[in-house]
């Protein structure tokens, strides 16, 4: 071929490669590729018969990061696997030991009819110019990607034909260079996707480093432990950060200005961890759960507070001090702070559940005497981030509103917004007051909402027996003692922060659905005490643990200074087990409230090293199954519940370990003769229990597997059917936009 046409399709064997559309077809069907595997295939196919060294390939595919040779080998393996190559033939990629790889399959090029413009007569590899940012991803009516093998990315590899015929890749992107731009066109940004690995924390948190090279997020590993993971941008495999195991669902971590450390909150204490490894260092104890934060070059870490105003913690360690004062009478909280360029003034989200009209992004100052300073800049219910200017122009505030992501210039001298907001992306996910985005001067990362789930019945063999109702954003599930009703927590759509309890009547033919809670408070963690009443936790506004009947009659059972997550209630309603965090020494603990009077005081039941949670009272109220990570990964234990009415004392007996290799979410059969739990891979395990006079567990049996489900679930009284909330589609990927500010008006 001559140089007057562009290679729009490359054929080899039964495979068709379409670089401009980032699409690979095998026998006419789309084949799934990760972004980097696709890029590598394009480079190899562009050089048939030519030995490409490992250094050459790594420079071409990973121009902005340093990667190991093992990463290259992994992606070659991924290409071979995706194309169905066999070990004894039909191979299109040949390995040249200690040197590199050669594409050996015969190639046929199908050019388009368009002539090359004169300025592109030299063969090159470029990035597609973008003048806008896409939405969070195309999906069909059921939420699935239309083309599973097609990566909707903004980076396009255009391979131009050489004059000598065949394909030749002459110019490659070099490490350290910014985005390539057309000689006559506008500045460009580059948009691509990276898959989510592991099960993210319920908050969906993630944070991009200030230099834009790393992404840190909280996710469960293969052992079921929730911890922080670090991932160099554009590499597939994340690595765990040692010592960052966390009990609670946490908001984004806080990066140091030099991108070397992250600060995080595992429970009432702020810790600092190096992304290069090593044991985390404790910095300061905190008055409440940290919700977002910002780290300036002077060594101040400014933190949001789930219980009140902002506070400051020294990065070198020390005592936390108050920075702002929240109006608690209005349910006000100050969260998600973000320093301006001077490291003294800052933005923060002032949120009020009872007076939402006052919520928004406000200004604050570390040196303010009143500690109540603040002018509202932006009306929104989600946290924002300030991006300092890279030149002489103004900085930028990035914020979310009504499910969309915006950027607006901000004059730091006048403390005023400049011009109109620019819409960056649609369909941004959120969890409570945090939207799914993180931003640095060069890199923007965002995600779509987590997929909806559908209530689904399974039998003991794992056969799906049918769905219940329509999918929704479920984050909790509790099955009534008779198995005829289900309580679920549903989160409001993007744009508002709300969570309410809904009732499903599982015996009705049409599966009627009834809303049970209303108002601005967040109702979570429902658990039944009888077939006509239940207990739940509430946060924001009317906080505490409440009991409610199906008729709507409600009463406050108790309220403490910390979080209250009810997990189990006795049939008579007198015993309430719940999880809370009282301080950094013991982490999560199981507390109990006994009595039918509102004056009955909660007290600790399991308060040991590390975390104890998800306590489930046996039907006869004698045994308690719970989860603990004091011996390593989370495992299921059983202990005796000892209550002496004469002395009003409550103690726990000796703990018996039930699970091996990880376990959580225990559930009792109605007669107490069988105990079920889940494993990290989604398996449902069952253990028969002996006589009631003493606890005699049998051997655990694996019943079936339902990976990826909401961890709250239910089992019918006879142990024959299981109700899960099953996601209707895979988790959305991370959308990464390099040089995102190029899309903003000057």
Q: What is the pLDDT of residues 259-281, one digit of tens each?
A: 999 999 887 789 999 988 888 99
Q: What is the pLDDT of residue 686?
A: 95
Buried b (16+ CB within 10 A) or exposed e, 284-311: bebbbbbbbbbbbeeebbbbbbbbbbbb
Query: Taking 60 as the threshold, does the pLDDT of residue 333 lie above it?
Result: yes
Task: Give the least confident one: 124-128, 290-294, 390-394.
Answer: 124-128
Nearby residues of 541 by Cβ (< 8 Å), 6 or more positions away: 331, 353, 354, 519, 520, 521, 522
Q: What is the pLDDT of residue 250?
A: 66
Domains parsed from the chain with CATH numbers: 7-190 (1.10.10.10), 252-449 (2.120.10.30), 453-727 (2.120.10.30)
Nearby residues of 369 by Cβ (< 8 Å), 6 or more positions away: none
CA pair distance 206, 387, nearest whole angstrom: 17
CA pair distance 615, 606, nearest whole angstrom: 9
From the list 282, 237, 235, the residue with the least C-alpha distance to 63 is 235
Q: What is the pLDDT of residue 521?
A: 74
Tokens 């806080």, residue located: 254
C-alpha distance from residue 241 to each of 215, 256, 263, 565, 641 (Å): 12, 16, 12, 28, 37
- Tell me the β-bridge partners of 585: none
- Average per-residue pLDDT for the chain: 80
Q: What is the mean pLDDT of residues 121-143?
A: 33
Query: Taking 70 as the threshold, does the pLDDT of residue 191 lie above it?
Result: yes
Residue 417's pLDDT band (cuts 50, 70, 90): very high
Residue 129's pLDDT band (cuts 50, 70, 90): very low
Sign of CA dihedral 256, 262, 268, 269: negative
pLDDT tens-place string over residues 431-490: 888 899 999 999 999 999 888 889 999 999 999 998 888 888 888 899 999 999 999 988
Q: What is the mean pLDDT of residues 324-344?
A: 89
Q: What is the pLDDT of residue 151?
A: 27
Most confident of 168-182, 183-197, 289-303, 499-513: 289-303
Residue 235 sits at φ, ψ, to 5 deg, of: -115, 145
Q: What is the pLDDT of residue 208?
A: 95
Q: What is the pLDDT of residue 32?
A: 78
CA pair distance 202, 219, nearest whole angstrom: 9
Query: Taking 90 as the threshold, does the pLDDT of residue 296 lie above it?
Result: yes
Q: Tokens for 537, please give them.
A: 């936790």
Nearby residues of 183 by Cβ (< 8 Å), 6 or more positions away: 119
Query: Taking 80 as the threshold, does the pLDDT of residue 198 lie above it?
Result: no
The more confident residue out of 22 and 302 is: 302
Q: What is the pLDDT of residue 464?
A: 93
Count of CB atoms situated within 10 Å of the CB of 382: 30
C-alpha distance from residue 424 to each of 189, 205, 399, 629 (Å): 12, 20, 10, 41
Sign of CA dihedral 226, 227, 228, 233: negative
Q: What is the pLDDT of residue 146?
A: 26
Residue 421's pLDDT band (cuts 50, 70, 90): very high
Residue 136's pLDDT band (cuts 50, 70, 90): very low
pLDDT tens-place string over residues 34-69: 778 888 999 998 888 888 888 888 888 877 666 667
Nearby residues of 638 by Cβ (< 8 Å), 6 or more positions away: 623, 624, 625, 626, 655, 656, 658, 675, 695, 697
Most confident of 215-229, 436-450, 636-650, 725-739: 436-450
Residue 528's pLDDT band (cuts 50, 70, 90): very high
Task: Give the least confident one: 472-486, 488-502, 691-705.
Answer: 488-502
Q: What is the pLDDT of residue 374?
A: 61
Q: What is the pLDDT of residue 431?
A: 84
Query: Taking 70 as the threshold, does the pLDDT of residue 372 lie above it?
Result: no
Q: What is the pLDDT of residue 399?
A: 95
The more confident residue out of 533 and 189 is: 533
Output DSSP code: residue 330.
G
Q: What is the pLDDT of residue 147?
A: 24
Q: How many Cα neighbours within 13 Å face the side chain of 164?
A: 5
Q: What's the predicted TM-score (pTM) here?
A: 0.71
Q: What is the pLDDT of residue 369?
A: 56
Which stretches of 84-128 are DSSP H helices?
A: none
Stated length of the chain: 746
Q: What is the pLDDT of residue 141?
A: 33
Most confident of 328-337, 351-360, 398-407: 398-407
pLDDT tens-place string over residues 140-187: 333 333 222 222 222 222 222 222 222 222 222 222 223 323 333 345
pLDDT tens-place string over residues 64-116: 666 667 678 878 888 888 887 654 446 788 888 878 899 888 888 876 433 33
Residue 359's pLDDT band (cuts 50, 70, 90): confident
Which stretches of 275-429 are DSSP H helices?
A: none
CA pair distance 121, 142, nearest whole angstrom: 45
CA pair distance 517, 514, nearest whole angstrom: 10
Output DSSP code: residue 357.
G
Query: Taking 80 as the threshold, does the pLDDT of residue 615 lie above it?
Result: yes
Q: What is the pLDDT of residue 493?
A: 57
Q: What is the pLDDT of residue 274?
A: 92
Q: What is the pLDDT of residue 692?
A: 63
CA pair distance 472, 451, nearest whole angstrom: 8
């Amino acid at each position: 071929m001559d140089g007057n046409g562009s290679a729009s399709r490359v054929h080899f064997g039964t495979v068709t490669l379409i670089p401009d559309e980032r699409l690979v077809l095998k026998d006419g069907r789309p084949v799934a590729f990760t972004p980097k595997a696709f890029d590598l295939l394009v480079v190899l196919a562009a050089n048939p018969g030519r030995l490409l060294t490992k250094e050459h390939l790594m420079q071409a595919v990973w121009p902005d990061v340093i990667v190991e040779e093992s990463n290259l080998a992994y992606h070659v393996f991924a290409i071979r696997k995706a194309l169905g190559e066999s070990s004894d033939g039909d191979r299109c990629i040949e390995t040249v030991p200690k040197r590199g790889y050669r594409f050996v399959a015969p190639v046929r090029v199908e050019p388009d009819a368009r002539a090359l413009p004169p300025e592109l007569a030299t063969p090159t590899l470029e990035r597609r110019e973008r003048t806008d940012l896409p939405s969070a991803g195309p999906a069909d009516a059921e939420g699935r990607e239309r083309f599973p093998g097609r990566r909707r990315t903004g980076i396009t590899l255009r391979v131009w034909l050489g004059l000598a015929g065949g394909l030749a890749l002459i110019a490659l992107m070099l490490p350290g260079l910014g985005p390539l731009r057309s000689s006559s066109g506008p500045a460009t940004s580059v948009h691509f996707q990276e898959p989510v690995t592991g099960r993210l924390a319920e908050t969906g948190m993630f944070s991009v480093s200030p230099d834009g090279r790393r992404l840190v997020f909280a996710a469960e590993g293969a052992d079921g432990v929730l911890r922080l993971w670090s991932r160099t941008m554009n590499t597939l495999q994340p690595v765990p950060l040692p010592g960052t195991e966390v009990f609670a669902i946490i908001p984004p971590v806080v990066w140091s200005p030099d991108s070397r450390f992250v600060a995080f909150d595992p429970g009432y204490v702020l810790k600092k961890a190096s992304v290069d490894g090593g044991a985390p260092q404790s910095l300061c104890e905190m008055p409440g759960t940290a919700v977002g934060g910002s780290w300036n070059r002077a060594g101040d870490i400014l933190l949001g507070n789930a219980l009140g105003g902002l506070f400051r913690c020294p990065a070198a360690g020390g005592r936390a001090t108050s920075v702002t004062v929240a109006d608690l009478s209005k349910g006000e909280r100050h969260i998600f702070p973000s320093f301006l360029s001077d490291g003294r003034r800052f933005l923060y989200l002032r949120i009020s559940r009872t007076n939402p009209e006052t919520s928004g992004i406000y200004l604050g100052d570390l040196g303010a005497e009143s500690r109540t300073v603040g002018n509202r800049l932006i009306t929104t219910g989600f946290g924002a981030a300030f991006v300092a200017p890279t030149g002489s122009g103004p900085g930028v505030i990035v914020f979310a509103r009504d499910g969309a992501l915006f950027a607006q210039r901000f004059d730091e001298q006048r403390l005023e917004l400049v011009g109109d907001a620019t819409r960056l992306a649609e369909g941004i996910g959120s969890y409570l007051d945090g939207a799914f985005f993180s931003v640095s001067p060069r890199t923007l990362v965002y995600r779509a909402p987590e997929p909806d789930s559908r209530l689904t019945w399974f039998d003991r063999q794992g056969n799906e027996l049918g769905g219940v109702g329509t999918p929704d954003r479920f984050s909790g599930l509790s099955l009534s003692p008779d198995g005829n009703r289900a309580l679920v927590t549903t989160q409001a759509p993007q744009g508002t922060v709300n969570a309410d309890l809904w009732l499903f009547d599982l015996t009705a033919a049409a599966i009627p659905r009834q809303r049970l809670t209303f108002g601005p408070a967040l109702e979570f963690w429902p658990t039944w005490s009888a077939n006509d009443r239940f207990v739940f936790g509430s946060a924001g506004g009317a906080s505490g643990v409440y009991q409610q009947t199906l008729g709507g009659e409600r009463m406050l059972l108790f309220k403490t200074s910390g979080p209250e997550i009810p997990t189990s209630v006795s049939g008579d309603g007198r015993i309430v087990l719940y999880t809370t965090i009282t301080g950094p020494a013991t982490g999560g603990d199981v507390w109990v409230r006994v009595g039918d009077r509102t004056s009955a005081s909660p007290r600790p039941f399991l308060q040991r090293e590390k975390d104890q949670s998800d306590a489930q009272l046996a039907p006869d109220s004698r045994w308690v199954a719970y989860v603990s990570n004091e011996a390593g990964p989370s495992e299921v234990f059983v202990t005796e519940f000892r209550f002496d009415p004469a002395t009003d004392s409550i103690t726990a007996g000796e703990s018996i370990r039930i699970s091996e290799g990880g376990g959580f979410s225990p559930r009792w059969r109605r007669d107490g003769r069988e105990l079920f739990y889940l494993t990290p891979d989604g398996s449902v395990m069952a253990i028969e229990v002996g006589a009631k006079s003493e606890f005699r567990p049998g051997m655990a049996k694996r019943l079936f597997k339902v990976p990826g489900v909401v961890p709250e679930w239910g089992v019918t009284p006879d142990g024959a059917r299981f109700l899960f909330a099953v996601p209707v589609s895979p988790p959305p990927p991370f959308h990464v936009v390099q040089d995102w500010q190029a899309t903003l008006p000057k």
